Structure 1
Amino acid sequence: MTRKIASPRLLTIRDAAEEAGVCTRTVRRWIKAGLLPIRRLGGSERLVRIEENVWRAFLREA
């Protein structure tokens, strides 16, 4: 029997911004400053997501 490993939920920059009550520019600044790690999807420079567990930890520490 194999175990299925759950993938972390991925948030868009917009989702994260709405949840934190900030604009998307602010989230992008946090990413650019290296404060918030992201995952690039499909090798794209533009398609990025934030792991929900990373986002929650970031909000707790902020």
Structure 2
Amino acid sequence: MTRKIGNPRLMTIRETAAEAGVCTRTVRRWIANGLLPVRHLGGSRRLVRIEENVWRAFLREA
């Protein structure tokens, strides 16, 4: 899949958890507490993705 320039990579909760070395429940807590913003896909509140650039910024600030 090719991305257009300027479109951020969207990561799953599982991918972000693996990168951080934490469980998916921890990432879900960060989201629920408003610490990690997400994008909701397809009009669903359950289907979420994290923009890679937002994730990198989150890691820098943590």
| TM-score, structure 2 normalization | 0.90
SS at match of 1:14: helix
Two-structure CA RMSD over aligned residues (Å): 1.0
Counterpart of 2:55 in structure 1 is: 55
Residue ranges of structure 2 left out of the alignment (5+ in a row): none
Displacement, 1:46? Answer: 1.1
Between the aligned partners of 2:50 and 2:57, the Cα distance in structure 1 is 11
Q: Which amino acid aligns with 1:25?
A: R
The gaps in structure 1 that reach 5 residues or longer are none
In structure 2, what is the Cα distance between the partners aligned to 1:56 and 1:5? 18
User: How many pairs does the alignment contain?
Assistant: 59
SS in structure 2 opposite 1:49?
A: strand
1: CA distance, partners of 2:6 / 2:34: 26
Partner of 1:8: 8
Match of 2:40 in 1: 40
Percent identity, please.
Answer: 81
In the TM superposition, residue 45 of structure 1 has moved relative to its aligned partner by 1.3
1:6 to partner: Cα distance = 2.4
Shift, 1:5, TM fit: 4.4
- Taking structure 1 as the reference length, the TM-score comes to 0.90
